[in-house]
Amino acid sequence: MDHPAHQYPAHASVTPAAVPGVAGIGSEPGVTYAVVDIAEDGKQHLFTSNGGGALAERMGIVITEATADRVVGTMPVEGNTQPYGLLHGGASCVLAETLGSVGAVLHGQTVDRPFAVGVDINATHHKAARSGLVTGIAVPVHRGRAVATYEVVLEDEAGERVCTARITCLLRGA
């Protein structure tokens, strides 16, 4: 993991593992998972060696929490800007689709449809982000047997809403 966004905190205990219930995420060859215990918060955080895919890796996306009920991830603004130095709207959509798709995959595993592909995404950009990290939180709006829809809220480091997105994924069987 050579992208700066993938550096674990110094106090983290990193254990490479196959994470139960997360087999469908990053199913491409060579992807490894790590469960990271962070002493300060007592939670386990999920990371993949490629951030969830080649594009997510290039964007510096790190998934820090992943369940069918809530997916959280971060992305640096630096390197993901448009010519005016502001976070690119497309970058916000990449983060939103990544997080919503992870949630859809985790839900899909409960209905024997472990693969999710995005079929619709929309985003409203509320405020410009100029630096630091943006954090996205995806929560389900609808979880069915054939589709799952997640709302994703992106906030800057001050906790101000940057973008609200909604992604719908088609769920497919193995």
Range of the domain at 40: 4-172
- Model confidence at 53, pLDDT cuts 50, 70, 90, reads low
Q: Is the pLDDT of residue 135 over 70?
A: yes
From 28, 65, 78, 97, the catalytic residue:
97
- Model confidence at 160, pLDDT cuts 50, 70, 90, reads very high
How would DSSP label each residue in the chain? --SGGGPPPTTEEEEE-PPTT-TTTT-STT--EEEEEETTTTEEEEEETTTTSHHHHHHT-EEEEE-SS-EEEEEESTTSB-TTSSBPHHHHHHHHHHHHHHHHHHHHGGGT--EEEEEEEEEEE-S---SSEEEEEEEEEEE-SSEEEEEEEEE-TTS-EEEEEEEEEEEE--
Q: Is the pLDDT of residue 92 over 60?
A: yes
Q: Is 97 a catalytic residue?
A: yes
Q: Is the pLDDT of residue 39 over 80?
A: no
Number of domains in the chain: 1
For residue 20, give the CATH number of its domain: 3.10.129.10
